[in-house]
Structure 1
Amino acid sequence: MVRNGGHNLAFHVTPGHNPAIVLDAGGGADSSYWKDIVPVLAKDTGSTIITYDRAGMGASDEVPGPWKVEDAVSDLEAGLTQLGATHDVVLVSHSLAGEIATYFVNKDPQWVAGSVLVDASLPNFYTDSEIAKIEAANNAQMAELQKQPSTKQTRQLLAVAASYGAMHRAYHQVSWPDTVPATVIRSSKTPFDTPDDAQLWRDAEAQFAAAAPNRTVIVADNSSHDIPLDRPDVVLKAIDEMAKQVS
């Protein structure tokens, strides 16, 4: 357990050598999302494997008020500092965790040797019109959630929705530092059912990869947005290659 800003966070460690591989799950998921990947990754790479529960998830304390990406970055910093993983890190981020990764590598680029972004949320996706569309959908979903019994998961979803618009208008202006290599894994389906939204998501991934020579996009065929569950082989291979590249 790691203490930061008055709350406790659960970090889970499989000991090994550097580079340490840090796995960060998407929105609504905790460290158990990676339970099938961790033992295979540890065996294949010999690296230290770190997973954790973000505030409000799993065994970590809840934090009242709207969710803030800056707080999530601070929590990750606190955990990695206590674990001594402040250099040669391979950061693996799924979905929402791509936003944490983007802010993290801007603040602490010297900590991260490379990243694998698994169908991750990237800045170019968040145009004003897209944010407005998602906010409208969120409002309907949140109204339904508020009618249901309050649980840790529903409270966390409501916290993220509360700050969605302002947070993503700011995120749209953020860029990934050229010094940190990144592999983007694209799903077949994307998180969206509508063709326009799905294409915008794919375009954001392509634009991200094209912005620097040390970035690439690979496609996980026959996968939903949950690539780590549908195609763990693709995720494991990408992490293994990034770990070898940065060793």
Structure 2
Amino acid sequence: MSRTAPNHRSVNRALSTLALLAFTAGAVTACSDHGSAAKHPTSQSAASSSSPETSQAGGAKLHMIDNDGHRLAFYVTRGNGSTIVLDSGGGEYSSQWKDIVPKLHAATGATVITYDRAGLGKSDVVPGPWKVESAVSDLKAGLEQLGVTKDVTLVSHSQAGEIANYFAKDNPEMLSGAVLVDANLPQFFTDEEIPRLVAATQPEVDAAKKDPDKPENRQLISTTEGFAAAHKAFHQVTWPDSVPATVIVSEKTPFEASPEDAQRWRDAAAQFAHGAPNRTLVTAEGTSHEVPTDRPDFVLKEIEDMCATQH
């Protein structure tokens, strides 16, 4: 049977899903201020954030967390009882959730936490390949240092789905539920799909290596190093039956111009959702892959519903 490879534009659109920064107009990239923010902090910027807690706009407070020799920025809007953690897609950082956080806090009364993964926002750059194990360690260290060890609803977009799956596997006792927003799921990364993704992104990787110090290029290169092996391992990860999950799929998927890959994306979400009776699959009508931006109201409702079922 003949196979249709994704065209160049759809591949670029898909890159953000895989944490490989897209370069075409209209695709999501790191915002213009990501570049300066992603660089390793100068002594002046580090000093300005050296206190464990500083006020931020909207009531959130910045906590600089130390883990494995680097510092990460966690933003906390304090509430009562449970905690909701919002984890951004590839190339994005905490600001992705700025419109959702105050509404979510007002609606649920919960503590709401966002954070910048290593190399993004106010968090330190960590040289070398991006490793999901390190990202999971960063998230867990941040939560533990903030005193959050249970009753967490984890909301994960795109690449953060990989972090969520490993985090849930290793720390199910910390989670009361999860909302996976058009997220990377193990079922998608088959032995047939991985080579397609690697081949499709190679032109962007080659171009990025010509200017490896540019923040977005650094992010792209770090994510593609060891991509195939890492995602073969990811394909084997199993979500714990004890943790309920809502799986949100965008209408267009990250592969809008490639029907074959788009269907595989939908099938993977359905397969994940059908893996246990406490998982729900919903489609965000009228959305691109950027569901939190396209339909923040939809995401907000699904988070509220998940929290309501746990209390």
TM-score, structure 2 as length reference: 0.78
**Residue of structure 1 aligned with 2:141, choices 78, 103, 107:** 78
Correspondence for 1:12: 75
**Is residue 2:97 matched to residue 1:69?**
no
Q: Which runs of 5+ in 1 are unaligned?
A: none
Distance 1:120 1:91 in 2: 12
Distance change (3 Å), C-alpha of 1:178 and 1:149: closer
**Residue of structure 2 aligned with 1:169, choices 232, 248, 260:** 232
Q: Is the 8 A contact 1:124 1:204 kept in 2?
A: yes
The Cα offsets for residues 16-73 of structure 1, whole Å up to 9 and x where unpaired, read as: 0121000000111111111111111111111100000001111000111111100000
**Is residue 2:152 matched to residue 1:89?**
yes
**Residue of structure 2 aligned with 1:231, choices 295, 298, 310:** 295
Question: Residue 191 of structure 1 aligns to which amino acid in structure 2?
Answer: P
Distance 2:114 2:300 in 1: 15
Correspondence for 1:215: 279
Correspondence for 1:246: 310
- Structure 1 window deviating more from structure 2 (220-229 vs 138-147): it is 138-147
Correspondence for 1:44: 107
Distance 1:243 1:155 in 2: 37
**Is residue 2:173 matched to residue 1:110?**
yes
Question: Residue 91 of structure 1 aligns to which amino acid in structure 2?
Answer: L
Distance 2:215 2:86 in 1: 21
Question: Residue 227 of structure 2 aligns to which amino acid in structure 1?
Answer: Y
Correspondence for 1:200: 264
Correspondence for 2:37: none
Q: Is the 8 A contact 1:45 1:240 kept in 2?
A: yes
Distance 1:137 1:85 in 2: 40
Q: Once superposed, what is the RMSD of the aligned Cα atoms?
A: 0.9
Distance 1:225 1:150 in 2: 28
Question: Residue 122 of structure 1 aligns to which amino acid in structure 2?
Answer: L
Number of aligned positions between the proteins: 247
Q: Structure 1: which 4+ aligned runs deviate by more than 4 Å? A: none
Per the TM alignment, residue 149 of structure 1 is displaced from its structure 2 partner at its CA by 6.8
Distance 1:157 1:25 in 2: 16
Question: Residue 101 of structure 1 aligns to which amino acid in structure 2?
Answer: A
Distance 1:164 1:189 in 2: 24
Question: Residue 195 of structure 2 aligns to which amino acid in structure 1?
Answer: A
**Residue of structure 2 aligned with 1:21, choices 84, 94, 99:** 84
The Cα offsets for residues 189-234 of structure 1, whole Å up to 9 and x where unpaired, read as: 1111200100000000000111100000111100000000001111
TM-score, structure 1 as length reference: 0.98
The SS at the match of 2:112 is strand
Q: Is the 8 A contact 1:9 1:61 kept in 2?
A: yes
Q: Is the 8 A contact 1:57 1:153 kept in 2?
A: no
- Structure 1 window deviating more from structure 2 (40-49 vs 1-10): it is 40-49
Q: Whose helix fraction is larger, Structure 1's or Structure 2's?
A: 1
Question: Residue 202 of structure 1 aligns to which amino acid in structure 2?
Answer: R
- Structure 1 window deviating more from structure 2 (136-145 vs 21-30): it is 136-145
Correspondence for 2:121: 58
Q: Is the 8 A contact 1:56 1:153 kept in 2?
A: no
Q: Is the 8 A contact 2:212 2:218 kept in 1?
A: no
Per the TM alignment, residue 85 of structure 1 is displaced from its structure 2 partner at its CA by 1.2
Distance 2:149 2:188 in 1: 30
Question: Residue 61 of structure 1 aligns to which amino acid in structure 2?
Answer: D
Distance 2:158 2:107 in 1: 24
% identical equivalent positions: 58
Question: Residue 281 of structure 2 aligns to which amino acid in structure 1?
Answer: V
Question: Residue 154 of structure 1 aligns to which amino acid in structure 2?
Answer: N
Distance 2:177 2:278 in 1: 10
The SS at the match of 2:260 is helix
Per the TM alignment, residue 150 of structure 1 is displaced from its structure 2 partner at its CA by 2.8
The SS at the match of 1:128 is coil
**Is residue 2:210 matched to residue 1:147?**
yes
**Residue of structure 1 aligned with 2:199, choices 116, 136, 140:** 136
